[in-house]
Structure 1
């Protein structure tokens, strides 16, 4: 009998660095209760510190004069000493023209930061009693926009891991409420017909189905020849290793592509990686072969055989991002449509890079991006029918129709759009 099987013996496994952090006092800083006790003035001063780094000296959003402007405590705004314009702490930001009280805004962002894989707008609405779903949805969507324009930018170098993972296009809605192995009578009948076909007839039918799928907007996997549905996408991640033991990756960049093809990975690398001074770590996917020749070194691991090569080759940090993104899509947000997949992927990248910061610090960092990228390009006027007309892909923006209800039609009308999350 081994020591582990002996009665009364407890086997203890060494805690990971992530577990040590989450169980420590460093994982907790502020609470929603604390925000609720703040005065409006304290909220404004906190937002000013997050945006400008000072609650006394800041640049005027209208003329960029940086000095100690006149502060009017009655309406919580400043008056520029140079041009005389008045401005608030959210002027010319993604939250410009907001009507939400400052305390509720800070509480919402704190709750958003508390989610390890995400925070559904529906749940946020219930916790903070927003009058409408759109209020909560546009709030967190504007925060994601700040991350897209402020966080997911710039070049990375060093040892860069790269990987792609399938997302969206899972026909979740038509499968919802059905047992996993359920087949409708029509599907059973079609299966019986397939069994009677000859090999040549099956091959002909597959060619016809492939041609029909491509005509409908589907894409082909260049490695396997498999045809993906029109709504299927791949989320690609590029992660720079920290170099310190147990610290994983420190900087993440993400992009979305239609397939794992050479042109997609080339576009991502050109956008986010300082190639001449970097080492690339990937799996043995054919899309990375040509790209790897441009790096100082290309480390590859064959995932059909092992997770880590004989000399330590791996891309496990990129796989870690894919796992969190998968939990976010299937367990939190559900039904992420391709049009906004890039937004949610950037959110996951932000959570991955800041996984060892307390929620208050995460919220402040995300808020800093939202307050420094200018007014919203994607969500300003969203509730009045002004929607983004394209999806953001690695190879360039692509027109994408709106999937929600037309203006004037209730959000939850039967058969209109997707259920919100």
Structure 2
């Protein structure tokens, strides 16, 4: 039996020891190269695009020679107004990509020696950067699997048996239950969405799946509408999970990772932020054969290319 990629030496090309041994200056230069790869880390003012800048080395800032504005390597990015050291930011990225099924914010805050809320906001900013890559080029082609899974909305049964209610009935629901619908190319990328009902996946398929594609789905009745637009393979999961090549195993693999992330690591995810975790799981699933060093560099580049977060800016002031 072949060795799993995560057990191989090829999957381990970066460690926390390397990051902290290299030090703050090396981490700072890494972020500069991620921000301005076309100039190999030489500063370019993001507003006017001027390449001629003064380097204020004592403050790690730059000053544009044309308009005299001062800026830093994180200005206008998702890390804008950051207070953490660059080596800690790089370590946070390393910890996040090393956890193949996510990492709890309590653990992240302890590893970085920061407040829980600091770790929570930082991780969600990084997930926002992941989402920009996950939802780039949203039309899927080839053979696409579609499936949905329910998350949240757990109803705790009453202690006394006589006081317990039928938790399946609508009047007893909490309103927090959500469905993650995933469209996944076979041997390709995953595209997740958070909806109120699994049947909404039909409209998502119309918007995000090419008409030249073929599809796979289970026997749920709402997927019958897919036959009007695509050749669809159906598999009855009450009988088997694969029927002569007809399956939705790639979609199920994604849900396995997401469910272990939500249940095993975070234990509870608010429906308000469920889409962030869904995108995180899709990003990890799409890059499951990339080394942790490659993942860290990709995520750092995504973060430095992402604009200031409008969702998480002002979280400390209760604006989010």
TM-score by length of 2: 0.91
Higher gyration radius (CA):
1
Matched, 1:303 2:212: no
Matched, 1:287 2:222: yes
Work out the CA distance in 2 between the residues paired with 1:22 and 1:290: 39
Matched, 1:365 2:301: no
**Structure 1 347/211 Cα, relative in aligned 2: closer, same or farther at 3 Å?**
closer
Q: Deviations over 1:111-155 (max 9, x none)?
A: 11111110111101112211x211111110111122223432322
Candidates 166, 188, 194, aligned match of 1:256: 194
Q: Which residue does the alignment assign to 2:99? A: 115
Q: Deviations over 1:289-321 (max 9, x none)?
A: 2123212x21111111111123x1111000000
Gaps of 5+ in 1: 1-13, 176-182, 195-205, 214-227, 243-249, 388-421
Work out the CA distance in 1 between the residues paired with 2:100 and 2:61: 35
Q: Which residue does the alignment assign to 2:247? A: 314
Q: Which residue does the alignment assign to 1:232? A: 177
Q: Which residue does the alignment assign to 1:407? A: none
Contact 2:43–2:73 (CA under 8 A) maintained in structure 1:
no
Matched, 1:36 2:20: yes
Matched, 1:137 2:120: yes
Candidates 259, 275, 282, aligned match of 1:342: 275
**Structure 1 22/56 Cα, relative in aligned 2: closer, same or farther at 3 Å?**
closer
Q: Which residue does the alignment assign to 1:241? A: 186
Q: Which residue does the alignment assign to 1:124? A: 108
TM-score by length of 1: 0.70
Work out the CA distance in 2 between the residues paired with 1:299 and 1:52: 46
Contact 1:284–1:301 (CA under 8 A) maintained in structure 2:
yes
Q: Deviations over 1:258-286 (max 9, x none)?
A: 1111xx1133224432x212111111222
After TM superposition, list the pairs within 5 Å mapping 1:263-274 onto structure 2: 264-273=200-209
Contact 1:239–1:253 (CA under 8 A) maintained in structure 2:
yes
SS in 2 for 1:291: helix
Work out the CA distance in 2 between the residues paired with 1:79 and 1:260: 52
Work out the CA distance in 1 between the residues paired with 2:203 and 2:300: 29
Contact 2:134–2:282 (CA under 8 A) maintained in structure 1:
no
**Structure 1 212/39 Cα, relative in aligned 2: closer, same or farther at 3 Å?**
closer
Q: Which residue does the alignment assign to 1:61? A: 46
Structure 1 residue 350 displacement after superposition: 0.7
Contact 1:153–1:253 (CA under 8 A) maintained in structure 2:
no
Work out the CA distance in 1 between the residues paired with 2:16 and 2:171: 53
> Aligned-residue CA RMSD in angstroms?
2.2
SS in 1 for 2:75: coil
After TM superposition, list the pairs within 5 Å mapping 1:199-210 onto structure 2: 210=169
Q: Which residue does the alignment assign to 2:159? A: 184
Contact 2:32–2:42 (CA under 8 A) maintained in structure 1:
no
